[in-house]
Structure 1
Amino acid sequence: MSQPQPRLRISEIFHSLQGESTRVGLPTVFVRLTGCPLRCVWCDTEYAFTGGEMRQLDDILSEVAGHGARHVCVTGGEPLAQKPCLDLLRALCDAGYSVSLETSGALDVAPVDPRVSKIMDLKAPGSGEVDKNLWSNLEHITASDEIKIIIASEADYAWAREVLARHGLTQRCTVLLSPGAGLVDPQDLAAWILRDRLAVRMQLQMHRIIWGDRTGV
């Protein structure tokens, strides 16, 4: 008897331009999983905390294929909060997609398929969830992964600068610093980065610039 297919609770699947990471601007299919154990104060996807629809893995793969894109981003919520997310990531890689995973950094990334590019947050104090950082995850970050830190204040920036230096992160992977929307002036963050000569990439959320706060785009 064959094993039952993995099922995942999905908030939405949509085709858009990637708005963040080094893949910014690339046509991408987003698979947004429902649920998250964190409650960051600046979260812009609270609608994905609950609800969603249970869907079989083959059904998800079929919808992704229908968009005809090469890049797929699995996001949330926190996608790793659903164990079958690992099956989804592996299946997407097996199907030949270039796959990225947006994860909070609070859950173990060790089991993630090594073909997946992990875009992993480190939560600064201004998020309200700094205690949720699973620091052992840094052992599993490679040159194909990226670390993102959202900066909500100059104190957050100072925290990020110290963490990057302590762990030598800019020598290991791309590090992305983002100004918290409405919390930090992008010009200020740019000035701090240039002042300290940090080897990071500053990023703005391109999807917000294009579509504002609309979801599913």
Structure 2
Amino acid sequence: MRVTEIFESIQGEGALMGRPMLFIRLAGCNLSCKWCDTPYARDEGREMSTEDVAMRIRSSHLSWVCWTGGEPLLQRSAIEDVAASVRGYRHTVETNGTIPVPSGLFDHVTVSPKSLAGMPPLADCYKFVVGGKEDLEEVDRYVLRTGIARERVYIQPRCTTKGDAIQLLAPLWTACVARGYALSPRLHVLVFDDRRGV
């Protein structure tokens, strides 16, 4: 499987924010979003055997494994092989929602829809990256059209630096309270700025 990076950190986004996890960032993506915060994951990556990835999971004292990317579900069969060989861990995936999520593989699914045209796949939470009022209005229309429960909607500032995050958080805070959405502040960016692997 093609892996961009593996590291231990605290989940800084979404419903599992604050939990320590082993992050496995897989290489490759089927989209090319201009606001992507991990563009290096589109192409970068080294080949690792599924057994080597499983060994890395077993060497961690953390019980949660977060599969992210790029788009991790492009390597679905490799994830399935790894997950089958490491029992007792909880797996979560962060996906753009363009590839069906296999039932029963993940304990938690976060979908961050990049196209708000279609219906979203089933997920535990839906994360929307927002840079301003127009983005919020688009999310509102999507939530209304699709019937996603508001308590499953997480609004995340479109930022890669601490300064940008701080600038966006106050207006997003107010907007989330008014709409009943959760705010996902990107804790890792607030603490470490734009550093990778944290």
Fold shared, TM-score > 0.5 on shorter chain: yes
Output the TM-score relative to the length of structure 2: 0.87
Aligned residue number for residue 169 of structure 2? 186
Aligned residue number for residue 71 of structure 2? 78
Cα offset for 1:98?
A: 1.6
Structure 2 distance, partners of 1:101, 1:112, is 12
RMSD: 2.2
Structure 1 distance, partners of 2:59, 2:105, is 25
Aligned residue number for residue 96 of structure 1? 88
Structure 1 distance, partners of 2:46, 2:104, is 25
Alignment of 1:157-176 (within 5 A): 157-170=136-149, 174-176=152-154
From 20, 28, 35, give the equivalent of 2:21: 28
Number of residues of Structure 1 aligned to a counterpart in Structure 2 = 193
Aligned residue number for residue 120 of structure 1? 111
Structure 2 distance, partners of 1:79, 1:116, is 15
What secondary structure does 1:12 align onto? Answer: strand
Cα offset for 1:82?
A: 1.9
Aligned residue number for residue 149 of structure 1? 128
What secondary structure does 2:127 align onto? Answer: strand
- Contact 2:66 2:94 survives alignment (8 Å): yes
What secondary structure does 2:43 align onto? Answer: coil
From 11, 22, 26, give the equivalent of 1:18: 11
Q: Which has the larger radius of gyration?
A: 1
Cα offset for 1:108?
A: 2.0
Structure 1 distance, partners of 2:105, 2:145, is 25
Question: Unaligned stretches of 5+ in structure 2?
Answer: none
Structure 2 distance, partners of 1:206, 1:159, is 24
Question: Unaligned stretches of 5+ in structure 1?
Answer: 1-7, 124-129
Structure 1 distance, partners of 2:15, 2:81, is 22
* Change in 2 beyond 3 A, CA 1:85/1:153: farther
Cα offset for 1:83?
A: 3.5
Cα offset for 1:22?
A: 1.7
Output the TM-score relative to the length of structure 1: 0.80
Cα offset for 1:84?
A: 2.2
- Contact 1:13 1:31 survives alignment (8 Å): yes
- Contact 2:94 2:109 survives alignment (8 Å): yes
Give runs of ≥4 in structure 1 deviating > 4 Å: none
Structure 1 distance, partners of 2:82, 2:51, is 12
* Change in 2 beyond 3 A, CA 1:201/1:14: same
1:66 and 2:63 correspond = no
